[in-house]
């Protein structure tokens, strides 16, 4: 949106430039050249011997021309100051320059600025004749002012080359004029940042030939952006050409590409006589542009042939040239080796309102009374400029009832003009890609990418490549770093669904895809199914399951069936089939029925084509009715998670790739007799299987047997070369042979209490994480796992010894031997190892953070000559020696230094560890006395100690970054000079008796995290807390504080502020100055009002006001919180009113109003797509929600997803 501050700049001027000069010095050379250059660039210029209307006094005309010019170019020459006429001009120019509407530029042609400023040299001689003139004083003043302005000096700017100086002047004036035009152009609202980014990417001025692509969906503003960039920078190039509608113009006739080549050549070479006879001839002629630095824009390209004809070789262009290509299809750019591709972002809500208002109202904001209707339009447009412009133009001048009618119509009838534009991307797709697109639009939008691929491949599509093509053509989006989701703009979704429905708009039974629940219910209930239907997805709300099965009878070509049931409902009563409902179409390839109510699949279903079968949380007890066995040659994915399955025979499913029976707590038998060469993933966790035979699963990659607590026998393949992860916890196994697993990375055998023997056929070179805690292992040979990073042997009470060949464990960062009460030593195997010192050393990566927790270890000889690095030192003080033999610890090696650490001498001995970086003392009676010797200490943590004060010597730790004081119940005071900890980033005080913080704490300039929790005696914070300029997180929980210091508003980097203080009465009135704040949590306070400035928190994403029992109202301008995603008002018992502005917060995802006195919500909240509202059932019903209301089982709370 154009800012209001630009309004004054957008005054209409008669002239762009006014030239002020002394004619006898410059008219016939420099001025004429400058004037002609300005005119050639379309810069309308006033020169005193032209454009003067006859019959009028020249002085009046001159004054008017000066006032009606945007820019002034004052050419100071030797005799300029001799002319009273020129000096009067200068007075008027400088008066205008002082306003914001005009700008003056001095040019020092054959004089220096000091001569003009001081009237010395040639300028002084010329001015001498005016010394006695009445206006001399004023003239001297304006000469000095003009000489102080930024301008150009011929001899210094261009080494005396007039042509180069003129070029610089042209560039500056053109740039300024384009900036003004850009801000004044209603089409460019929201484009300013995008244009800057594009221009920056072009790096104009470098001598390479650079090509950038601009990619985006139809109607997103690619052409607008390219045109804006072209208009802003074209003056910098010797030749320029903007080729519009390349796709359309190249396809209209056989000569389409030739005519486009003609256009480029004519534009660039200024030769209208050029005639291209063939595309090949055109490519040869393109080489004529080698001598001109060219700006070329190719708009709406959709085929590589077009680029090869118009910009096929960078050698056609002179160094410094720039080529901009816009397209919907990223693959065209990739194929042309375009290295830099810019995505066109859709408009933000603010930008969209501005653009819509331009077209609908002719202004920058909606007119009074139309604000909410405008918001609805913009919400429908979803940031797409094309839709915004079309609707703005359509609604312009219409009354409210017409607006409401138009918006209501859009709910069922899409906008034709938008659909036609968007459908161009669909028309040129290959047929199978069209089918994939329609499936995403109608069924799969919002699904995770792996599940979309699974569904599409089940139906016979090449999904991975297909999705990539659709993404490149800007028809879908794939977002998310760790959890990729397939998305699609609302209007593209609308376009796809319209394609499916438009041939038979009133006969959904003839549609290829069905997704509207009411239509599907009607078709099934009335047995209207046809062979036309191939794909169905719907949510089954009721319990008429027989109706569904019967209604599918006529859909003989149905390939895809996805039925979901409300997750709140429990299993339906177990059902058997009756004689009329036993039907699934045999053409089905993908069948997913969540909470399937029947005991089994009907025997009438042959399933010859079935690829994926998913029935999680179902009532299935056996796969086929009566235990019948069917051959399922095509079945690849079987998912019966949390079903009631008791037995399963997979002997006739040889091509299975993934099996999930997780949570099948009744499963006691699994038959897997034949080979399964494709089976990669098995999850049998939480089952009751006693024996699992996986001999035939030689290509397994993932095996999850978590919580299989009945498991006694597991038979693994002798070779399982692809296995990467094996989880087997809480089993009854005594021995485990995992065979040859060279690619195993993760092995978890936690809580296998009876496990005595673990056998590996060979080294697991890639194993990095091994957990064998709570087992009966006595010894473990770590030579088979040389690259371990994490080893957990917690509570292996029989463990006595670890075998550690020299050279192993180089990457180990965590070793836990807690409660291994019999463990006494590491045994080093030096056989076949050279005796050199280097070979015997055990090195640890110095950048790793390593832990050694071994309370019963008498010595720590991990390396014979005590050179082990980087193990974290953790000390525990135990009063009862029977609980642990920590007191027997004789030696600790840390950073190559040793220290005696008998607990009796801990204070003295620990201070000898000069390279110690981390020290954690738990349940130790007092702090070491001379910690200032630990000059490398970075982390210091005390917990459960009885010390009353922290020693002042701690303030000498110049490298300390983290200080944690947890459950130090007697601690009453911090050192007064704590501010001397210049590197401190993290300070945590938890459960102390501290009443006041020392003022010097405000000197901690690098403090990022401050937590004051359960400090119930803390009454106030330092007044200068705002000096913590790097603070990002502040937790103030369970303290006696009544007021926060006003200076807290100066914390410009603060992102999280959490306050839970039952005595807190007010918040600082300037809280809105916390410009980076993202999370504000206030609970159990006695605040009555929030400061209005809270609405200025533009980056705030989460606002929680919980149990603020006296809070009576919220600020009216909540919609200014543009980034707000979560608003919780739980248990604010006096809160009755809700500002209507809440409906304008476009990013709001969660609204909690449970436990308040709010009796109704604004009606427009029903249109806030994606919002979850939680509150009482009565409140939600007052908004018109009924069947959508869901219940949280563990609370008396309801919620609804809009």
Residues with active-site annotation: 89
List Cβ<8 Å contacts ≥24 apart for 371-374. 372/1143, 372/1164, 373/400, 373/403, 373/404, 373/407
For 237, 437, 493, 496, the CA distances from 499, given in Å and listed in that order, are 45, 11, 10, 5
Q: How many CA atoms, within 13 angstroms, populate the side-chain half-sphere of residue 122? A: 12
Angle, helix 371-381 to helix 385-395, in steps of 10 degrees: 140
* Sheet with strand 45-46: strands edge to edge: 45-46, 15-20, 69-76, 103-108, 152-153
Give strand ranges (E) for 706-796. Answer: 713-715, 725-727, 735-737, 746-748, 757-759, 769-771, 779-781, 790-792
Six-digit token string for 833: 């190892």
User: In the chain, how many H helices and how many E strands?
Assistant: 30, 53
Would strands 477-479 and 485-487 be described as parallel, antiparallel, or unpaired? antiparallel
Indicate the Cα dihedral angle 1054, 1058, 1062, 1064, nearest 10°. Answer: 20
Residue with tokens 């491949």, as numbered in its chain: 457
Could you count the other beta carbons within 10 Å of the beta carbon of residue 480?
12
711, exposed or middle or buried, with CB in 10 Å at 0-12, 13-18, 19+? buried
Q: How many CA atoms, within 13 angstroms, populate the side-chain half-sphere of residue 1024? A: 10
CA-based end-to-end distance of the chain: 29
Q: Which secondary-structure segment (H or E) carries 589?
A: none
Whether the CA torsion 116, 120, 121, 125 is positive or negative: it is positive
Six-digit token string for 1196: 């008396």
DSSP per-residue letters across 326-372: EES-HHHHHHTT--EEEEPPPPPHHHHHHHHHHHHTSSSSPPTT-HH
Picking from 986, 979, 928, the residue whose alpha carbon sits closest to that of residue 958 is 979
C-alpha–C-alpha distance, residues 949 and 1114, integer Å: 43
Picking from 776, 772, 714, the residue whose alpha carbon sits closest to that of residue 739 is 714
Six-digit token string for 447: 């699904």
Helix, strand, or coil (residue 905): helix
DSSP per-residue letters across 1056-1115: EEEEE-TT--B--TTGGG-TT--EEEEES-------GGGGG-TT--EEEEES-TT-----
* Sheet with strand 801-805: strands edge to edge: 779-781, 801-805, 825-829
Six-digit token string for 1063: 């005595």
Residues in the chain: 1202
Residue with tokens 């039925």, as numbered in its chain: 563
Residue with tokens 């309370």, as numbered in its chain: 855
Picking from 591, 592, 622, 625, the residue whose alpha carbon sits closest to that of residue 608 is 591
Residue pair 285/268 in contact (Cβ under 8 Å)? The answer is no
| 8-state DSSP, 795 | T
For 208, 320, 764, 1016, the CA distances from 285, given in Å and listed in that order, are 21, 20, 64, 84
Whether the CA torsion 830, 831, 835, 840 is positive or negative: it is negative
């Amino acid at each position: 949106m154009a800012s209001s501050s630009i309004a004054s700049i957008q005054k209409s001027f008669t002239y762009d430039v006014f030239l002020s000069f002394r004619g006898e010095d410059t008219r016939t050379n420099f001025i004429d050249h400058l004037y002609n250059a300005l005119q050639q660039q379309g810069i309308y210029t006033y020169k005193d011997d032209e454009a003067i209307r006859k019959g009028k006094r020249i002085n009046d005309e001159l004054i008017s021309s000066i006032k009606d010019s945007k820019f002034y170019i004052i050419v100071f020459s030797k005799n300029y100051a001799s002319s009273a006429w020129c000096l009067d001009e200068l007075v008027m120019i400088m008066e205008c320059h002082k306003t914001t509407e005009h700008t003056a530029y001095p040019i020092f042609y054959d004089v220096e600025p000091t001569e003009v400023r001081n009237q010395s040299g040639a300028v002084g001689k010329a001015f001498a004749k005016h010394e006695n003139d009445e206006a001399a004083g004023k003239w001297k003043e304006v000469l000095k002012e003009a000489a102080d302005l930024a301008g150009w000096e011929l001899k210094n700017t261009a080494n005396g080359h007039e042509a180069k100086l003129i070029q610089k002047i042209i560039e500056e004036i053109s740039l300024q004029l384009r900036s003004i035009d850009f801000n004044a152009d209603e089409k460019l609202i929201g484009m300013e940042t995008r244009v800057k980014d594009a221009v920056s990417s072009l790096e104009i001025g470098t001598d390479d030939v650079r090509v950038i692509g601009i990619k985006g969906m139809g109607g997103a503003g690619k052409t607008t952006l390219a045109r804006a960039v072209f208009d802003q920078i074209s003056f910098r190039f010797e030749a320029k050409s903007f080729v519009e509608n390349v796709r359309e113009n190249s396809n209209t006739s056989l000569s389409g590409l030739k005519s486009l080549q003609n256009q480029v050549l004519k534009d660039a070479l200024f030769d209208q006589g050029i005639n291209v006879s063939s595309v090949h001839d055109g490519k040869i002629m393109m080489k004529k542009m080698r001598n001109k630095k060219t700006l070329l824009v190719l708009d709406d390209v959709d085929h590589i042939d077009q680029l090869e004809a118009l910009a096929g070789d960078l050698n056609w262009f002179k160094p410094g040239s720039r080529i901009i290509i816009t397209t919907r299809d990223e693959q065209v750019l990739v194929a042309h080796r375009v290295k830099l591709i810019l995505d066109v972002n859709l408009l933000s809500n603010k930008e969209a309102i501005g653009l819509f208002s331009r077209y609908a109202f002719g202004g920058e904001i909606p007119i009074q009374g139309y604000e909410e209707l405008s918001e609805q339009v913009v919400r429908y447009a979803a940031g797409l400029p094309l839709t915004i412009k079309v609707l703005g133009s359509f609604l312009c001048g219409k009354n409210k009832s017409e607006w409401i009618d138009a918006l209501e119509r859009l709910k069922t009838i899409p906008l034709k003009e938008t659909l036609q534009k968007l459908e161009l991307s669909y028309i040129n797709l290959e047929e199978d890609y069209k089918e994939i697109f329609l499936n995403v639009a109608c069924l799969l939008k919002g699904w995770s990418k792996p599940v979309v691929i699974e569904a599409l491949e089940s139906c016979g599509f090449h999904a991975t490549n297909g999705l990539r093509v659709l993404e490149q053509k800007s028809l879908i989006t794939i977002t998310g770093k760790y959890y990729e989701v397939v998305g699609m703009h609302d209007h593209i979704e609308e376009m796809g669904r319209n394609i499916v429905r438009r041939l038979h708009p009133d006969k959904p039974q003839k549609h290829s895809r069905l997704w509207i629940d009411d239509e599907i219910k009607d078709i099934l209930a009335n047995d209207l199914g046809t062979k036309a239907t191939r794909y169905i997805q719907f949510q089954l709300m009721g319990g008429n399951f027989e109706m569904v099965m019967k209604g599918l009878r006529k859909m003989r070509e149905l390939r895809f069936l996805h039925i979901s049931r409300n997750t709140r409902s429990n299993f339906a009563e177990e059902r058997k089939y009756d004689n009329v409902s036993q039907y699934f179409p045999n053409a089905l390839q993908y069948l997913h029925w969540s909470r399937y109510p029947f005991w089994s699949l009907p025997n009438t279903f042959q399933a010859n084509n079935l690829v994926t079968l998913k029935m999680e949380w179902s009532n299935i007890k056996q796969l086929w009715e009566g235990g019948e066995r069917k051959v399922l040659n095509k079945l690849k994915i079987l998912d019966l998670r949390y079903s009631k399955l008791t037995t399963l025979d997979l002997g006739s499913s040889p091509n299975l790739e993934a099996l999930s029976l997780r949570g099948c707590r009744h499963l006691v038998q699994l038959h897997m007799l034949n080979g399964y060469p494709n089976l990669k993933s098995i999850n049998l966790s939480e089952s009751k299987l006693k024996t699992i035979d996986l001999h035939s699963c030689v290509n397994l990659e993932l095996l999850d047997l978590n919580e299989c607590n009945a498991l006694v026998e597991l038979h693994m393949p002798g070779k399982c070369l692809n296995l990467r992860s094996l989880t087997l916890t809480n089993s009854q196994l005594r021995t485990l042979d995992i065979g040859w697993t060279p690619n195993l990375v993760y092995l978890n055998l936690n809580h296998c209490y009876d496990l005595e023997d673990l056998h590996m056929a060979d080294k697991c070179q890639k194993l990095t994480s091994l957990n064998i805690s709570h087992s009966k292992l006595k010894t473990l040979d770590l030579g088979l796992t040389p690259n371990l990073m994490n080893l957990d042997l917690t509570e292996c009470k029989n463990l006595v010894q670890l075998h550690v060949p020299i050279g192993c464990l180089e990457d180990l960062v965590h070793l836990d031997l807690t409660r291994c009460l019999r463990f006494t030593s590491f045994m080093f195997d030096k056989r076949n190892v050279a005796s050199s010192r280097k070979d015997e050393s055990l090195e640890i990566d110095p950048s790793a953070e390593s832990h050694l927790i071994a309370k019963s270890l008498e010595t720590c000889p991990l390396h014979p000559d005590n050179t082990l690095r980087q193990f974290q030192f953790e000390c525990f003080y135990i009063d009862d020696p029977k609980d642990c033999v920590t007191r027997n610890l004789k030696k600790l090696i840390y950073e190559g230094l040793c220290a005696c650490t008998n607990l009796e001498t801990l204070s003295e001995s620990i201070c000898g560890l000069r390279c110690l970086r981390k020290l954690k003392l738990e349940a130790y009676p007092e702090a070491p006395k001379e910690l200032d010797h630990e000059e490398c200490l970075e982390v210091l943590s005390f917990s459960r100690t009885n010390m009353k004060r922290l020693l002042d010597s701690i303030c000498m730790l110049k490298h300390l970054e983290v200080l944690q004081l947890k459950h130090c119940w007697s601690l009453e005071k911090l050192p007064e000079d704590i501010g001397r900890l210049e590197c401190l980033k993290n300070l945590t005080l938890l459960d102390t008796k501290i009443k006041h913080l020392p003022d010097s704490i405000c000197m901690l300039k690098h403090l990022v995290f401050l937590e004051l929790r359960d400090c119930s005696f803390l009454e106030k914070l330092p007044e200068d807390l705002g000096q913590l300029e790097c603070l990002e997180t502040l937790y103030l929980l369970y303290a006696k504080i009544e007021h926060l210091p006003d200076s807290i508003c100066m914390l410009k980097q603060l992102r999280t502020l959490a306050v839970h203080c039952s005595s807190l009465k007010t918040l600082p009135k300037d809280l809105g100055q916390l410009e980076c704040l993202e999370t504000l949590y206030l609970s159990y306070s006695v605040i009555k009002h929030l400061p209005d400035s809270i609405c200025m928190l533009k980056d705030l994403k989460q606002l929680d006001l919980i149990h603020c029992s006296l809070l009576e109202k919220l600020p009216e301008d909540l919609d200014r919180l543009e980034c707000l995603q979560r608003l919780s008002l739980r248990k604010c018992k006096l809160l009755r009113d809700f500002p209507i502005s809440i409906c304008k917060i476009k990013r709001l995802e969660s609204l909690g109003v449970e436990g308040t006195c709010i009796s109704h919500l604004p009606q427009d909240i029903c249109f806030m797509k994606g919002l979850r509202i939680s509150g009482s059932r009565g409140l939600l019903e007052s908004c018109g929600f009924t069947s959508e209301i869901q219940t949280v089982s563990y609370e008396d709370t309801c919620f609804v997803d809009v």
